[in-house]
Amino acid sequence: MKNKMNTLAFACSAIFLFSTTIGCKNKESKPSEAEATEVQAEAEPDFKISLAQWSLHKTFFGGQIDWENFGKTLKESPDDLLKGPDPMEFPAMAAAYGINTIELVNTFYFSKGDDMAYWTAFKKKCDEAGVTVGLIMCDALGNLGDADPEKRKATVENHYKWVDIAEFLGAHSIRVNAAGEGTAEEVAEHAVAGLKSLAEYGATKGINIIVENHGGYSSDGTWLSGVMDKVGMDNVGTLPDFGNFCIERGPDGCIKEYDRYKGIAELMPYAKGVSAKSHNFDENGNEVDSDFLRIMKIVKESGFKGYVGIEYEGTELSEDEGIKVTKALLEKVFAEL
């Protein structure tokens, strides 16, 4: 009996030792799921490049644009504005630049807001091109900072369908405008109310409501960051634009401009995206009005990680060339950070 017990104990010890050894080998040869995730996260770059559709607005609108009657045509017969390529092809156009995330502009799809068959086809185009939608820029839907509560409510509701489309396409945000009439304090108060109301709807769909510095009070970094503080909602943020800091325009251009570097620094704590506005370049491929490296250092110091969208609006280069030069500049700057 004693010999049997010793034999049994030896067998158990051998089995334990063998199983422990196998376990160690498995652990060494195959990292745990947590370790694999950590390695993948370390390899993920802090910044990626997306393409704002407005970079190709002349292309889609067919060259010469009648800005004087643009708003009227947009409301009455929006498809008449589209004299170039079909905006349905934008995913493939972006992919041709080696860019796999796009930022749509609703004015190219103004007649399609209630056409889910169209967006189903568009989503298929995205899948075929290997492209995702990051956000939708929304214009011409009214003023979220309107002093009239009924008009403000109508504006909020005008955005609902674009929130729905953003959700359907897998986007994270819609970009809106915090505009209105009145003093800075009055418009801020009304914009806060409008943004909160829209954000409540956006939250039900998992969509952020983000505000770009886009002229008027919104191009004042102190004003817009103050609005963000007063809204105080997780799904409300900013889309800092490198170049949209003109507070007041005159017949010959901007007559009052906010310091873009100060403005970027003020807006980055609330940022859910970044827009790399570009116009003109020097012989070294640097943007002449915005120091991209200086701005991206501010972006990095804020802790932001994510997509930086190309938004070329220059006239010296074609849209195709402008997109390529802006992309090259961003890639160079990313490498220098």
pLDDT block averages, 10 residues each, the chain of length 337: 41 39 38 54 86 98 92 96 97 98 98 98 98 98 98 98 98 97 98 98 98 96 98 98 94 93 98 98 97 98 98 97 98 98
From residue 249, give the alpha-carbon distance in Å to each of 183, 219, 246, 252, 287: 17, 12, 7, 8, 22
Ramachandran quadrant class, 64 (left: phi over 0; alpha: psi -120 to 50; beta: rest)? beta
For position 64, what pLDDT does the model report?
83
For position 198, what pLDDT does the model report?
98
Residues forming a β-bridge with 276? 310
From residue 121, give the alpha-carbon distance in Å to each of 116, 169, 187: 9, 11, 39
Burial class (CB in 10 A: 0-12, 13-18, 19+), 111: middle
Residues 6+ positions from 91 with CB-CB distance below 8 Å: 102, 122, 125, 126, 128, 129, 131
What percent of the chain is predicted at pLDDT more than 70? 88
For position 36, what pLDDT does the model report?
52
For position 2, what pLDDT does the model report?
41
User: What's the pTM?
Assistant: 0.87
For position 123, what pLDDT does the model report?
98
For position 302, what pLDDT does the model report?
98
From residue 125, give the alpha-carbon distance in Å to each of 93, 102, 131, 173: 11, 12, 8, 20
For position 321, what pLDDT does the model report?
98
Cα gap 111→115, rounded to integer Å: 8
Residues forming a β-bridge with 246? 257
